Structure 1
């Protein structure tokens, strides 16, 4: 399979070889489909170009049956309101209801010496494939995570008119969506994703995502086809991101396929960093062989680093097979030169991860999937991974109840410096870790899922080959909260991974003792709901916590996108009771804020609720990451938030909504996860500084001020400090100062680090409650009339400068947005270098915005706690 990286034109122009008319293109537009219940003919007839497709409807490929039905307006949007309840579920309709034929006509001819290949990157769940009246697969193909490739040279019609027909069958069994995690669990008898039968963060996907869900491509080569190139980079010793580097080693191999009846002699070569490495090869007839090339010593390499630690440099690599001066096939990759190490930290008794010899404190998020209905795109992947980079995270864990993420996902992680922990396909819920009355089978039976272990291992080997070259891939994980059965785990761990990769740590399951010794002085994974802020600092969880999370409701503009107007009712918290919540909110998996909203005053309406929820969101996630950073290398080597995004319109655990609209969770995390960060320990009122870089930080001035609701300041401390690399240190406590100042109506606490140029390098503003635990003073704050200037600095870039008068109080918690000038609705996505910002009296703050222009000149909107909503033209 070819990687999807573009290769610089200059290198292509410098290739002094003629080549076959080789190309690779996706079969994406112009598909048609029909439910099998309406088709009486077989694939041999349907795949004939003369077979009429009268009455067949346009199909979405890549896509699923449900996405096609949605595109043809046969079902309502399942992500809106309660619409999903009105879509027939496959458990009740039977599998034939969602079994579909997919047909694509395309033009292609074959010249002498050329080979044509048909590639499928993912079909769920089983299928038969026909081309021009011939069946391509001898046996029915099964497995969601198993690529397919067919040599179609002999099947291509000479007149260039070709027809591909694929019948796709749903998983079997489909599982009963009875409200359990994974429904009744039987969906896991297949080698497929499990969340589609329902989970505690999503309703069931009615067709279980049946369809041709990933790319279909046609590739043309010469006699030899290059497959599954493998690149390993070795970076010995401890490195730093800057300065000259000692050499690194690049090791390269590839599979070569000769489908012809004669031996073929040629040259396998690649070009990287201006150097060419090659080897002469003779391939026997009708064989596929793995060929290893000589090692490349790379002098003074440019290294790849995780976000926040250094650059993410990627070397272009062009690999070719040359026959008699002609290019038979080529592959283009991007190579990140780095080495991942995993070792046990003896203090925490958990794994610590190093990159290029430098240990990295893992600040991660659990990733479910980009879209629950598998509507993937490079643009959406790029936006979501960029959001995670902007949160100052450095790791994403791909949860085992979903899928092996797509190459485009990994491309985005390579670009933005996000390490990845990739689970294989299993979860304790379906696979028997706990007794569960919702499950159809007992624990002993579920422990043996899936039914076809050979298919699981074959699929695992294939998916390893698909993604192993990405530098962002850092760890493999057997499954979510449970080991795979031994006859799956042992071959995977002891033979398949060492043979096909061998460079990454394999953890047997996501919260295992190998990752995090889980019997220390308290805690476990989680907690999963809203917490008192001090608990993040004083409650000791597992030392590499794979799942801990909280709330994540968006504001009113987010809610109204998917909740009908009549259901936009604010949840109501009654003391000592559970929240009273609207049925649509419950359907979208709302988890409660307890009394945390009421601490800001009982919400007047849902808009007020959404606004106050953002204050809670910001504080929760800032304190979560600060609490773990406060005990870096002492209690913890890492933390992974459950979870940072939702693949549908859920109301929990998300830094941005399904529509890519960020909420305050994102910016609280952005603040609390900053590489160099001054912070307030909510448990013992100590000022602390965290340095999550590899550099020693000298000559930093710490400036701490208390500010009342009128804007009056009190100096609480000022001192020069230094801090070593990858370290957290306490400075001094201020408990008595803030207790007195906050007693009546609460207060603001401004904490800054400044360099010798008096530039702010870390800025943190807390709002602290009164003696009763309420934020009473916030509701009495005077209005702040601030000056706002917005100007375009480049294409798709806007700079906003907010200026607050010295006579004002703090202009508090301002949400900035780019909006359509006509509708006043937010443009999505937009990337802000900060948001929910506050401006102290007499100061300015600049916010940078980045978006994709669409031909309209947007407005900048601002809506603050004590700043009136207004819309500012962009100059």
Structure 2
């Protein structure tokens, strides 16, 4: 018989298990979790609104039961000899006891491990639609976690965010609360449940691909693992280019070995590339089990991509340490991108479409890589499918974050199963190019001075230290990766590298000395770089629309102001008031009222900060042998609820202004400018006789694979910020060559002013342009302002124009004085701007693409200094 798969998704009920008079109620959806069901029945208030999070904490300390009934499918009967019936649980959150027809069949302790239980002998057969009763009871992960903490008192418990109970539990760690997310300890059947009936099945299907250095040929080795009896298996490799043509096929006899394989040689393969570097063609790998009569008993298929992916760590010219960059199909990639947290506190309500919307937002924002952070989940297939289709590289953490994890034997066994299951689930995705052991656990170990010796290479000794999780990151997980995904690099942690986790010369770093740590000025990011910066960030308020959505009374709420207790409640970062205040007061003139202008100013601050990092670090991508910085992943791209955080897009997928400045910095061709003040005393004692100069440095960044040779001029124009007068207009470099895939220094010069040293430099707005030498068309643009911006006497434009043009497809913006950070705003969420937060200089019209606008669309403007 052919394998049958029957979803167990109907007639589910739930109730509070430790309440005697509780009655079962229908679930809101399936898969589900208890908060969604309680919300559906209005038993709890929406924890995303106001301070309701506090009102629902009892949910996480309560036991809950889920129940359904189902009939044994007639098509599966009779359950003859050799036929097996299996209940497959894709995900149970977390401590679950599963009972079928009065018999306990499963007890779980790991949210990340799918489970399969043979229930052939327990299924009831008959005419009743509710002949089989399936009940799952979920214990409180929070309380079970504390029981385990007390059971192992010798472990040195501790970490950042949440509480110690989370380290004992294999569950999404952000459910304990984080410095950007609420404490909402969920439970429930969070992924699908199926009844499978079969005599044989394909238990696993995957492929290992090897691409020749010439990229002209590839070898695809298809592997299948078989359960039950089968005679033969047919492998087919097909192109998914629309024609679904079969590239290769082979039928293999199945012997006593449960693992079979077939090797395909593909000439001139359609290679998978990251976005902008090529297309994202995919192949279908299909396997079909055949019995002795050539009847099909099971099929399985995976979408794969053929590509060559390498992590290159090699010595550099002129600088210590080694590179850390990704090379895809022989192309070095500067991985500008972002970090990813789960897109909702309640994962079952994240739809496939919403995953695609998030990844499409990244692709549209010129981002190349996303890092799945180690305190969330191994993401849903839809997430990786979207990355495969849209060309976004994935850095995947294992699910450990910010603390000292224990390693007792039963927990290690659970983690082995977790690693095995998730590597098998995800290894076919071409977008996935690195696995990392954890997020910041080594950093925590260093910060707490845990006693472990990096020079000790005996894994058994590591278990006897007070940092036993080193065994997980340097033994258990790399062994699993070597066995299951030997072609994908494994990195012990993030950050991880040289002498310690702060070493900027080897591996990756998390640069939190802006915001956290020493709270450096973001203008100094060029001094704070590393070979690959996999975390950095700056907070900003979300859209005013998002704030209105979480205030209980919306726009009429008395707490609708930046310092209110409700607004503060929707910022989980300790000390956020001081840190936001510090960076605002260092850089801007601002006030808390009105709310709209304050929100704008925080978003301007974040946008300036992050753009500075991308611009200055991308400058260090200098070509072969000089890949001094090869990646910048901003913390973070998204939110799991409506909140003030480091995200560049809020919970409702509304981009903050930083999204657009990052997009501009990661454009195929860009120009950068930095401004430095130089003081040269004429002798070693004087405080008076000092020569001062203000210089600018200009460079081009070309992320394309073709040079722009001898056809580009670098034009520099200067305006007085107070008068709006253009004081200088010059060609600073003529017909320059801009080599591919690197930055190129163009010019270094004093800021052009009429009276050097008289203070005019502090009023000079400098714009640099790359223009075509042939026709004068603009290729790239950047406007550099004297900083801090709070010192400037910004003029309010009298002739600010922002009008729809070209059949409402663009907004044309201009002004007669320099305008810093002009933002376009529209109440209609269907109106989407392709750019925003642009600097305006006199004599120039900036065109901003827009979608969804009509002739009647009302577009408003906001800028620095308007209030």
CA deviation string 1:689-734 (max 9, x = no partner) = 1122333232233333234456544314352222222211211124
TM-fit CA distance, 1:173: 4.2
8 Å contact kept, 1:816–1:860: no
Secondary structure class of the residue paired with 1:780: coil
8 Å contact kept, 1:706–1:748: yes
Aligned to 2:166: 187
TM-fit CA distance, 1:354: 1.4
Measure, in 2, the Cα distance between the counterparts of 1:234 and 1:516.
34
TM-fit CA distance, 1:813: 4.2
8 Å contact kept, 1:815–1:836: yes
Match of 2:15 among 24, 27, 34: 34
Aligned to 2:731: 717
Aligned to 1:436: none
Would the alpha carbon gap of residues 804 and 468 (structure 1) be closer, same or farther in structure 2, given more than 3 Å must change? closer
8 Å contact kept, 1:554–1:610: yes
8 Å contact kept, 2:718–2:764: no
Match of 1:733 among 737, 742, 748: 748
Moved more, 24-33 or 64-73: 24-33
Measure, in 2, the Cα distance between the counterparts of 1:289 and 1:646.
44
Aligned to 1:4: none
8 Å contact kept, 1:516–1:545: no
Secondary structure class of the residue paired with 2:698: strand
Measure, in 2, the Cα distance between the counterparts of 1:186 and 1:561.
32
Q: Does 1:705 align with 2:749?
A: no
Moved more, 27-36 or 249-258: 27-36
Secondary structure class of the residue paired with 1:248: strand
Would the alpha carbon gap of residues 847 and 331 (structure 1) be closer, same or farther in structure 2, given more than 3 Å must change? farther
Match of 1:299 among 239, 252, 267: 267
Secondary structure class of the residue paired with 2:747: strand
8 Å contact kept, 1:32–1:104: no
TM-fit CA distance, 1:236: 2.6
8 Å contact kept, 1:555–1:613: no
User: After the TM superposition, which residues 238-637 of structure 1 pair with which residues of structure 2 at under 5 Å, given as runs?
Assistant: 245-258=215-228, 263-273=229-239, 274-282=246-254, 289-293=258-262, 295-323=263-291, 324-347=293-316, 348-374=321-347, 375-429=349-403, 431=404, 446-448=405-407, 452-482=411-441, 485-493=469-477, 495-513=479-497, 518-519=502-503, 525-529=511-515, 532-537=521-526, 539-564=527-552, 565-571=557-563, 583-587=568-572, 590=576, 592-594=579-581, 596-598=583-585, 599-603=587-591, 604-632=593-621, 633=626, 635-637=628-630
Q: Which runs of 5+ in 1 are unaligned?
A: 1-19, 41-52, 239-244, 432-445, 573-579, 792-798, 870-875
TM-fit CA distance, 1:503: 0.9
TM-fit CA distance, 1:147: 0.7
Would the alpha carbon gap of residues 196 and 750 (structure 1) be closer, same or farther in structure 2, given more than 3 Å must change? same
Measure, in 2, the Cα distance between the counterparts of 1:717 and 1:268.
66
Measure, in 2, the Cα distance between the counterparts of 1:65 and 1:266.
45
8 Å contact kept, 1:364–1:395: yes
Match of 1:167 among 115, 137, 153: 137
Moved more, 647-656 or 698-707: 698-707
8 Å contact kept, 1:168–1:212: no
8 Å contact kept, 1:516–1:544: no
TM-fit CA distance, 1:467: 0.4
Measure, in 2, the Cα distance between the counterparts of 1:346 and 1:267.
47
Aligned to 1:676: 669
CA deviation string 1:261-319 (max 9, x = no partner) = xx4313332232322322333355xxx822111x2111111111122322222123333
Measure, in 2, the Cα distance between the counterparts of 1:70 and 1:420.
34
Measure, in 2, the Cα distance between the counterparts of 1:249 and 1:859.
57
TM-fit CA distance, 1:152: 5.3
User: After the TM superposition, which residues 630-709 of structure 1 pair with which residues of structure 2 at under 5 Å, given as runs?
Assistant: 630-632=619-621, 633=626, 635-683=628-676, 685-698=696-709, 699-709=711-721
TM-fit CA distance, 1:403: 1.9
Match of 1:66 among 12, 35, 39: 35
Measure, in 2, the Cα distance between the counterparts of 1:480 and 1:511.
7
Measure, in 2, the Cα distance between the counterparts of 1:413 and 1:86.
37
Match of 2:207 among 213, 231, 248: 231
Match of 1:862 among 832, 846, 859: 859
Measure, in 2, the Cα distance between the counterparts of 1:717 and 1:777.
28
Would the alpha carbon gap of residues 61 and 111 (structure 1) be closer, same or farther in structure 2, given more than 3 Å must change? closer
TM-fit CA distance, 1:471: 0.6
Would the alpha carbon gap of residues 704 and 835 (structure 1) be closer, same or farther in structure 2, given more than 3 Å must change? same
Measure, in 2, the Cα distance between the counterparts of 1:858 and 1:257.
63
Measure, in 2, the Cα distance between the counterparts of 1:190 and 1:540.
35
TM-fit CA distance, 1:473: 0.9
Measure, in 2, the Cα distance between the counterparts of 1:814 and 1:332.
50
Would the alpha carbon gap of residues 863 and 857 (structure 1) be closer, same or farther in structure 2, given more than 3 Å must change? closer
TM-fit CA distance, 1:675: 2.9
TM-fit CA distance, 1:646: 1.9
Measure, in 2, the Cα distance between the counterparts of 1:167 and 1:300.
54
Secondary structure class of the residue paired with 2:751: helix
TM-fit CA distance, 1:329: 1.8
8 Å contact kept, 2:69–2:129: no
Would the alpha carbon gap of residues 835 and 227 (structure 1) be closer, same or farther in structure 2, given more than 3 Å must change? farther
| TM-score, structure 2 normalization | 0.80
TM-fit CA distance, 1:61: 2.6
Measure, in 1, the Cα distance between the counterparts of 2:822 and 2:10.
44
Measure, in 2, the Cα distance between the counterparts of 1:251 and 1:360.
27
Aligned to 2:183: 204
Aligned to 1:763: 781
8 Å contact kept, 1:516–1:542: no
CA deviation string 1:464-507 (max 9, x = no partner) = 10000001111111112236735434543453222211111111
Secondary structure class of the residue paired with 2:616: helix
TM-fit CA distance, 1:674: 1.9
Would the alpha carbon gap of residues 392 and 566 (structure 1) be closer, same or farther in structure 2, given more than 3 Å must change? same
Measure, in 2, the Cα distance between the counterparts of 1:657 and 1:174.
33
Aligned to 1:11: none
Moved more, 670-679 or 658-667: 670-679
8 Å contact kept, 1:597–1:609: no
Q: Does 1:120 align with 2:120?
A: no
Would the alpha carbon gap of residues 638 and 107 (structure 1) be closer, same or farther in structure 2, given more than 3 Å must change? same
8 Å contact kept, 2:560–2:595: yes
Q: What do you get for the CA RMSD once the two structures are aligned?
A: 3.7
